[in-house]
């Protein structure tokens, strides 16, 4: 597939998503400084962090990536580009209301959930209409469509949980909370990452295109795993839960094998900032996979919590940070500098990012994440907070580097 920015919207459309996502990442790290270990999974301060991280950071950046990749992969322009200007402020406002609801005012959970649902619905409407106009058919495009359906189901489930917390409806909260997490995390975040990475990893890693059939196997297995896990959470059937968990492990293993094949097909092994983030991300995913398997065998809830931390702050965070160093310069260069090639001197694509600063950020983020992980394992709150503070320092460097790329213009480099 020839990936060209020809169909992409202007960078000014998605720049607010990126900036908002970076701010929410900093806010989520700040929220972790108020978490005392050991923390119960249903503790409101922990739920507040999860929503700041997942909605404000992860979803915001995924939406920015989808807004750019969807028209490129489908080879058609956005059906309703005006919706892209509505999604990020609605999502930001909803995330802030949800965080405030978890930390101090539970009455804000419902309006926050409604704002998030409105953002997701607008995004899903544009995505499905755009795909409907496309003649292209592929597993990656199908993953976008199915992932968005999971997204809407997960948000509706979250609204039901908010109504249950306020006592407006009678539901058993824990099973619904499990289904909510699985549908959003596995059904949307993981499915979306799996689909987009089959395009971006070979593109930025100078490797062969990943096999459509190989991706299809991991993708369909993950869809089945998420469906089974959500059904098991809501029905309470233990045999179904075991089958669902095995399917999750199988889908993740198939995806990891796909990534290993990508790594082996690279023209040469590199250690630039993007590569380092990718190596760390998939090492964290493999560690989380092992922790989940250990939890299934031992029943140790600490292993499950550690797996979730590694997925959130290791795999997803490092994958997003690494790709920001590739996607943002790529889009800025092609929009602002490519038209000037041959007329004047322009920077090369790899010169758009301050590589030394990016590697320092990677070092701080990795050391901080490992220290925080050790704090979780040993239940030492000061060590955990210290690690998070180092991660926050890395996040500041990331934000400065990315914003500098967004502000870069030909007039500033002459």
Together in a domain, 45 and 67: yes
Together in a domain, 66 and 98: yes
Together in a domain, 312 and 367: yes
Domain boundary among 136, 157, 175: 136
Domain boundary among 89, 117, 136: 136
Together in a domain, 125 and 43: yes
Under DSSP, the state recorded for 414 is: -
Together in a domain, 162 and 207: yes
Together in a domain, 260 and 276: no
How many separate domains does the chain show?
Answer: 3
In whole numbers, what is the pLDDT of the chain averaged over residues?
88
pLDDT top residue among 138 and 370: 370
Q: State residue 307's pLDDT score.
A: 93
Nearest-10 crossing angle of helices 173-182, 139-165: 160
Rounded to whole angstroms, the Cα distance separating 318 from 61 reads 12
CA distances to 162, 170, 414 from 343, rounded to whole Å, are 58, 68, 12
Question: What's the whole-number mean pLDDT along residues 354-364?
Answer: 96
- If one counts every other C-beta atom within 10 angstroms of the C-beta of residue 363, the result is 14
pLDDT band at residue 381 under the 50/70/90 scheme: very high
> Is the pLDDT confidence value at 202 over 90?
no
Alpha carbon 347 to its chain centroid, in Å, reads 30
Q: Which domain holds residue 386?
A: 272-332+348-408
φ/ψ (deg, to 5) at 41: -55, -30
Together in a domain, 289 and 314: yes
pLDDT in tens, 24-43: 999 999 999 988 888 877 77
> Is the pLDDT confidence value at 18 over 50?
yes
> Is the pLDDT confidence value at 4 over 60?
no
pLDDT top residue among 35 and 208: 35
Domain boundary among 269, 287, 317: 269
pLDDT in tens, 168-191: 887 787 788 888 888 888 888 888
Q: In the numeric block, which tokens belong to residue 51?
A: 């929503």
Global model pTM greater than 0.85: yes
Rounded to whole angstroms, the Cα distance separating 353 from 403 reads 10
Q: State residue 413's pLDDT score.
A: 43
Question: What's the whole-number mean pLDDT along residues 88-114?
Answer: 92
Name the 3-class secondary structure at 171.
Answer: coil
Q: State residue 70's pLDDT score.
A: 86
State the DSSP string of 204-260. Answer: HHT-PPPPHHHHHHHHHHHHHHHHHHHHHHHH--HHHHHHHHHHHHHHHHHHHHHHH
Rounded to whole angstroms, the Cα distance separating 169 from 165 reads 8
Together in a domain, 363 and 395: yes
pLDDT top residue among 72 and 361: 361
Name the 3-class secondary structure at 1.
Answer: coil
């Amino acid at each position: 597939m020839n990936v060209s920015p020809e169909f992409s919207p202007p960078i000014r459309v998605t720049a607010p998503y990126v900036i908002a996502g970076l701010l929410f990442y900093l806010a989520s790290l700040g929220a972790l400084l108020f978490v005392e270990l050991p923390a119960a999974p249903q503790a409101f301060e922990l739920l507040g962090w999860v929503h700041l991280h997942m909605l404000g950071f992860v979803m915001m950046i995924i939406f920015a990536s989808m807004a750019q990749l969807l028209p490129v992969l489908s080879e058609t322009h956005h059906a309703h580009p005006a919706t892209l200007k509505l999604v990020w402020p609605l999502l930001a406002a909803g995330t802030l209301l949800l965080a405030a609801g978890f930390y101090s005012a539970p009455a804000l959970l419902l309006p926050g959930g409604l704002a998030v649902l409105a953002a997701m619905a607008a995004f899903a409407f544009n995505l499905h209409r755009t795909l409907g106009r496309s003649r292209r058919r592929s597993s990656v495009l199908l993953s976008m469509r199915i992932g968005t359906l999971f997204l809407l189901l997960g948000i509706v489930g979250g609204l039901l949980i908010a109504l249950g917390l306020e006592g407006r409806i009678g539901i058993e909260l824990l099973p619904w909370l499990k289904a909510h997490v699985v549908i959003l995390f596995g059904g949307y975040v993981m499915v979306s990452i799996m689909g987009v990475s089959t395009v971006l990893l070979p593109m930025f890693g100078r490797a062969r295109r990943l096999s459509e059939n190989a991706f299809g196997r991991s993708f369909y297995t993950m869809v089945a795993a998420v469906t089974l896990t959500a059904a098991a959470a809501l029905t309470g059937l233990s045999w179904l839960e075991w089958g669902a968990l095995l399917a999750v492990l199988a889908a993740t293993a198939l995806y990891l094998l796909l990534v290993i094949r990508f790594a082996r097909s690279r023209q040469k092994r590199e250690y630039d900032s993007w590569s380092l983030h990718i190596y760390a991300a998939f090492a964290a995913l493999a560690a989380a996979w092992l922790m989940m398997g250990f939890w299934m065998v031992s029943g140790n809830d600490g292993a499950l919590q550690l797996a979730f931390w590694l997925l959130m702050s290791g795999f997803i965070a490092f994958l997003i940070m690494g790709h920001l160093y590739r996607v943002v310069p790529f889009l800025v260069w092609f929009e602002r500098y490519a038209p000037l090639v041959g007329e004047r001197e322009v920077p090369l694509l790899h010169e758009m990012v301050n590589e030394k600063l990016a590697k320092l950020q990677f070092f701080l983020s990795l050391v901080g994440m490992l220290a925080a992980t050790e704090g979780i394992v040993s239940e030492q709150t000061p060590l955990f907070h210290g690690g998070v503070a180092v991660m926050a320092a890395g996040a500041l460097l990331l934000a400065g580097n990315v914003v500098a790329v967004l502000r870069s213009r030909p007039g500033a480099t002459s």
